[in-house]
């Protein structure tokens, strides 16, 4: 994960986000001395206000064409599934596909991390930080029936600070944590059967900083640890030892990824010249195809295929940013053909579960009437940069044709920006913004009253629905 995945280096990243808005479109960036970061806080202190009127960003009206709708029990949010919602008051709740809420834990002074669903959708794991740092597992299946549930503590330690959770293929909870020695990837049984302080045998897989990972099998994980010449990229066993030859020369990127059928890997490889390569290849290194990139990049596989999507600079002049930023491009592992799906300054993207649609956030100058009515990626390319106000657009793009299905101006919530958006590629492996039937996407936005709420946005352009809470994730 990031400069201490999702934790350390967040000040640098936030300043970089401000520069994305400021220097690309000629708007003064808000910078200053970095504030101290409150450990395990639910929302880190803001270094920059990425999406505020002071930067020329329009407040989110929801959909450009339609105002947000109120949550109605008669309108389904998805065919199946539930949403885990973190409230502004520190509560955790479920909202089912009809909009019916169920409490999982009450409001508390302790801060909650981002809830992570188990692969079968029966449980939710979440970090709770107060006097001690804990990982809780909640029986979501039982709670959805209206029964009372008591969270199960599976980890508790005052000196080891978990901050990112991801379920393993064999139903354990893996997590990244800050500890006295630095940072580590650890695992804990979901039934709480291991020593709660994390001292049991096999509890720590590997240490390093920064640390990103993607599970391949129950006993093998693809990791990207460290930076520069000291970086390691490859498959490791549960004891942290290499399980196959390391991939050479990892470049400037975050999470390496494995395709859904576990046949291909995607990553970025450094080279001697200013450019690097986005790589998709079979796990044994064969059938390799590449496309050039000139700075920090992010990659993600089609969840039902082997096509890899990536954002990152396509020109040397744009390599100054320390977050992935650039056109959204696709690379076909069979033919090696690369194509641009969305032009301009894309800062994050998410594949729909069925692989047909990609949701993308793009920073651009305030749109003209002509660009608002555009229907294709080609005709909606970002205009030539000129000083003036910018906006953030949520685009739903057909992955096959490049047609923009719908688009809206949004103002993402600050917690989402600070801790999720800039590391979206790692979170995409563990936390789902898309509904399981690919019918909608969750996006925390600032509403007209200045409060952060979770918007349920629909690719077909239907009016969005608003749910109370600061962030939410769909179950499988």
Dihedral angle of Cα 474, 59, 57, 454, to the nearest 10 degrees:
-10
How far is 171 from 83, CA to CA, in rounded Å?
A: 20
Phi first, then psi: give them for residue 287, nearest 5 degrees.
55, 40
What stretches in the chain show pLDDT beneath 70? 1-75, 367-388
Tokens of 83: 């949403």
294 Cβ contact partners less than 8 Å away, ≥ 6 residues apart = 274, 275, 276, 312, 313, 314, 315, 316, 318, 319
81: left (phi over 0), alpha (psi -120 to 50) or beta: left
Structure tokens given for 154: 């599976």
Residue 473 neighbours by CB under 8 Å, 6+ apart: 83, 84, 114, 115, 116, 117, 431, 432, 433, 442
CB 60 within 8 A of CB 453: no
CATH class, domain 10-474, is mainly beta
Q: Supply the pLDDT for residue 75.
A: 64
| pLDDT for the residue 50 | 33
Q: Which residues contact 370 (CB under 8 A, 6 or more apart)?
A: none
Q: CA 45, CA 396: separation in Å to the nearest integer?
A: 31
Please write the tens of the pLDDT for every residue from 309-349.
999 999 987 777 889 999 999 999 999 999 999 999 999 99
Cis peptide before 69 (omega within 30 of 0): no
Sequence ranges of the domains in the chain: 10-474
Q: What is the DSSP string of 82-142?
A: EEEEE-TTS-EEEEETTS-EEEEE---SSEE---EE-TTSSEEEEEEESSSEEEEEEEHHH
- Give me the pLDDT at residue 387, please: 52
Whether 424 and 350 have beta carbons less than 8 Å apart is answered as yes
Percent of the chain surpassing pLDDT 70 = 80
Q: According to the model, what pLDDT value does residue 7 have?
A: 53
Distance CA(283)–CA(301), nearest Å, equals: 14
Contact 309, 291 (CB under 8 A): no
What letter would DSSP give residue 189? E
Residue 39 is predicted with a pLDDT of: 25
Look-up of token digits 């039902």: 304
């Amino acid at each position: 994960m990031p400069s201490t995945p999702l934790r350390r280096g967040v000040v640098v990243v936030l300043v970089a986000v401000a520069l994305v808005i400021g220097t690309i479109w000629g708007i003064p960036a808000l910078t200053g001395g970095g504030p101290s970061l409150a450990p395990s806080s639910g929302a880190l202190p803001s270094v920059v206000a990425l999406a505020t009127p002071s930067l020329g960003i329009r407040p989110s009206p929801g959909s450009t064409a339609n105002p947000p709708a109120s949550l109605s029990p008669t309108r389904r949010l998805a065919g199946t599934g539930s949403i885990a919602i973190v409230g502004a008051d520190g509560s955790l709740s479920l909202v089912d596909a009809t909009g019916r809420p169920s409490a999982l834990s009450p409001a508390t002074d302790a801060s909650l991390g981002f809830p992570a669903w188990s692969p079968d959708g029966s449980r939710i794991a979440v970090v709770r930080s107060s006097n001690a740092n804990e990982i809780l597992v909640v029986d979501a299946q039982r709670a959805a029936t209206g029964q009372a549930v008591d969270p199960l503590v599976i980890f508790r330690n005052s000196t080891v600070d978990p901050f990112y959770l991801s379920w393993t293929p064999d139903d354990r909870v893996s997590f990244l944590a800050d500890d006295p020695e630095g940072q580590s990837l650890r695992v804990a049984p979901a039934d709480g059967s291991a020593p709660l302080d994390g001292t049991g045998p096999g509890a720590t897989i590997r240490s390093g900083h920064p640390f990103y990972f993607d599970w391949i099998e129950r006993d093998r994980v693809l990791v990207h640890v460290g930076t520069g010449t000291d970086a390691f990229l490859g498959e490791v066993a549960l004891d942290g030892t290499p399980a196959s030859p390391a991939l050479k020369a990892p470049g400037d990127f975050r999470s390496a990824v494995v395709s859904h059928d576990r046949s291909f890997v995607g990553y970025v490889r450094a080279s001697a010249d200013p450019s690097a390569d986005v790589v998709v290849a079979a796990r044994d290194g064969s059938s390799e195809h590449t496309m050039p990139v000139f700075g920090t990049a992010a990659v993600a596989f089609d969840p039902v295929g082997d096509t890899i999507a990536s954002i990152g600079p396509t020109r040397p002049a744009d390599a100054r940013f320390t977050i992935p930023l650039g056109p959204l491009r696709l690379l076909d592992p069979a033919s090696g053909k690369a194509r641009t799906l969305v032009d301009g300054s894309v800062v994050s993207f998410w594949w729909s579960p069925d692989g047909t649609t990609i949701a993308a956030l793009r920073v651009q100058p305030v749109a003209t009437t002509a660009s608002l009515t555009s229907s294709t990626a080609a005709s909606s390319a970002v205009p030539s940069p000129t000083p003036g106000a910018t906006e953030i657009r949520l685009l739903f793009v057909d992955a096959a044709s490049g047609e923009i299905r719908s688009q809206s101006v949004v103002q993402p919530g600050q917690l989402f920006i600070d801790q999720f958006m800039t590391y979206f590629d790692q979170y995409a492996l563990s936390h789902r913004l898309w509904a399981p039937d690919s019918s909608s996407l969750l996006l925390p936005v600032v509403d007209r009253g200045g409060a952060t709420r979770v918007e349920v946005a629909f690719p077909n352009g239907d009016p969005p629905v608003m749910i109370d809470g600061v962030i939410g994730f769909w179950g499988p």
